[in-house]
Amino acid sequence: MALTHAVIIPTYGRREVLGRLLVWLGEQTKLPDEVILSTTDDTQVPNVKTRFPVSKVFGIKCISAQRNRGLEMALGRFDVITYLDDDLIPATRYLERACRALEQNPDWAVVMGHIIRDGATTGEISWADGLAALRAADVVDEAGDDAADQIGAQGGNMTIRTAMIGDLRFDERLALYSWQEDIDFTTQLGRRGRIVSLPAIRSVHMAVRGGRMSGLRFGYSQVVNPVYLLRKGTMPASFALKLMARNIAANTVRSINPETHIDRRGRLRGNLMALGHLLKGRVEPEYILQIQ
């Protein structure tokens, strides 16, 4: 029997982008049984026609909390859930391939797709350019089903077997943008089943600006969140230290001549603020709620 399947989309401040994604999901070769939108209120939800049922759940603006609200709606009703970012463009066979992978591999807990272009590293990618990249990849479809084991998975690009979730939830102490909440959650899932990535499950991440936090807040999270997860035991020390060092170095060097789409100086100030707190023994990811 085919696995029942829900898509959960945490979203805020991107009504038009979300609407385009909902329409595009109607082109999937395997339609979701339901799409759950987790946001703050009805003003965030576009009025578009879809080829599948759409549910809504409202609450505070926090990625971890939004993921949990969607999860609570899905547990007990669906075999599989896929988390998608609202600015991700999944290839038309994305859901089909993700579900088939879990159907064929009962010991797998999480399947992560392959982002062939990521606007987070290159600057925002337009919808048209994203579709063109996916179509070009489909023409040369040489990606097989070779699975690569992962420490954790990307939160906006992963499919999870719900039977392995149990009482596990996303950590809401990782407030607002909840940076690295996906690693925290899936690392724990990795103790119950394999976490793998598959190159055939393709997508493009547009990295649309808007609906995100300030550079100062994000910079604070770049340092405090890895230390918090290291102490929690859900992020390896080597991974956490490399992550922090890379971000602090990038923010320091690029703050001299910052990119137009990244607030490097704000991030660097947030990095330094977090380091000051760590020196005082403060490891409080939720402190970003107090940063203006």
Where residue 233 falls (left for φ over 0; alpha for ψ -120 to 50; beta otherwise) is: left
Least trusted range by pLDDT, from 71-85, 136-150, 165-179: 136-150
pLDDT class of 123 with cuts at 50, 70, 90: confident
Q: What is the rounded CA–CA span in Å between residue 251 and residue 247? A: 6
Q: Evaluate whether 116 touches 89 at the Cβ level (below 8 Å).
A: no
Q: Is the pLDDT of residue 122 over 90?
A: no
Q: What is the rounded CA–CA span in Å between residue 245 and residue 223? A: 9
Q: Is the pLDDT of residue 1 over 80?
A: no
Return the pLDDT at 210.
67
Q: What is the rounded CA–CA span in Å between residue 284 and residue 278? A: 9
Q: What is the mean pLDDT of residues 238-251?
A: 96
Output 210 or 99, whichever has higher pLDDT: 99
Where residue 108 falls (left for φ over 0; alpha for ψ -120 to 50; beta otherwise) is: beta
Q: Is the pLDDT of residue 180 over 80?
A: yes
Q: Is the pLDDT of residue 191 over 60?
A: yes
* Domains in the chain: ranges and CATH: 5-205 (3.90.550.10), 215-290 (no CATH)
Q: Is the pLDDT of residue 62 over 60?
A: yes
Return the pLDDT at 140.
66
Instruction: Give 17-38 pLDDT, tens digit per residue.
Output: 999 999 999 999 999 999 999 9
Closest CA to 286 of 196, 181, 176: 176
Mean residue pLDDT of the chain comes to 94
94 φ, ψ (degrees, to nearest 5): -55, -55
Q: Is the pLDDT of residue 211 over 70?
A: no
Return the pLDDT at 81.
98
Least trusted range by pLDDT, from 64-68, 118-122, 185-189: 118-122
Closest CA to 69 of 57, 80, 79, 82: 57
Q: What is the mean pLDDT of residues 165-175?
A: 97
Output 18 or 138, whichever has higher pLDDT: 18
Return the pLDDT at 138.
80
Q: What is the mean pLDDT of residues 25-52?
A: 97
Q: Evaluate whether 172 touches 97 at the Cβ level (below 8 Å).
A: no
Instruction: Give 141-164 pLDDT, tens digit per residue.
Output: 655 568 999 999 999 999 999 999
Q: Is the pLDDT of residue 241 over 80?
A: yes
Return the pLDDT at 60.
96
Tell me, what amino acid is at 269? R
Closest CA to 255 of 212, 215, 218, 206: 215
Q: What is the mean pLDDT of residues 231-260?
A: 94
Distances (CA, A) of 172 to 122, 151, 252, 277: 30, 21, 29, 20
Q: What is the mean pLDDT of residues 170-175?
A: 97
Give residue for tokens 């809504």.
Answer: 56
Return the pLDDT at 260.
80
Least trusted range by pLDDT, from 116-120, 164-168, 258-262, 270-274: 258-262
Q: Is the pLDDT of residue 236 over 80?
A: yes
Return the pLDDT at 209.
80
